[in-house]
Amino acid sequence: MRSARPARGVFVLTAMLSLFYADSALAGDPAAKLADAEYLLTHEGRVMQARREIDAVIADCQPKNDTACLANAYRLYGILARYGGSKDNPTILNLHPDAPPHPSAEEFDISDGYFEQALTLYRQTQQLDLVANVSFMLAMNQMARGAPLKACPYLDQAGVALADARKQHPEKKITDVPGQASPEEGLAAAKKSAGCPAG
């Protein structure tokens, strides 16, 4: 029985070293940390761990006044809020990460606040594709609240930003809306679903 102990110890040590090196690789790269946090949140349901990673990025980027980094962190905090991760008594673990979240009115308000902060910073840095993305997410919050017509101004805003982004960087690939052939199609489908006026 004793011979099994060193093997288990080696396994634990290897796992700890793997985590250490993974954390070290992420430590100097806010974008990688945020990507990791988004994966933890949306694929593994580890809401509190995702929050810790986002908080660490914000703490690192604020003293440097890194506007692009802060915009990305606030955008992800807006998503985190939908999962109950930004409250004073936050959700720690989401057992159904693949299911759509069901935010409370308070969580929607918190989410909107972070998205609006991100939107302001994306405009400052002229990241128009992300202006479109966050505008779309603000629209989705309104639709999920049961106020689809309030989504329409955000969808219009997203459409303008998307068109400007295409002109700004025609070579850049802009992420498609899932289930749609293009972001433009996704916006058109959302407007139709919300009952937005044509034009």
Which residue has tokens 């796992």?
Answer: 15
pLDDT at 12: 36
Q: Note if the pTM is more than 0.75.
A: yes
Neighbours of 135 (CB within 10 A): 25
Domain boundaries, the chain: 28-117, 126-199
CA angle, corner 13, sides to 7 and 17, nearest 5? 145
Residue 152 contacts residue 196 (beta carbons within 8 Å):
yes
Residue 46: strand, helix, or coil? coil
Amino acid (1-letter code) at residue 189: A
pLDDT band at 25 (very low <50, low <70, confident <90, very high): very low
Interval 145-161: pLDDT, tens:
999 999 999 999 999 99
Q: What's the whole-number average pLDDT of the chain?
A: 84
Q: Mean pLDDT throughout 57-84?
A: 95
Interval 81-117: pLDDT, tens:
999 998 887 888 888 888 888 899 999 999 999 999 9
pLDDT at 19: 38
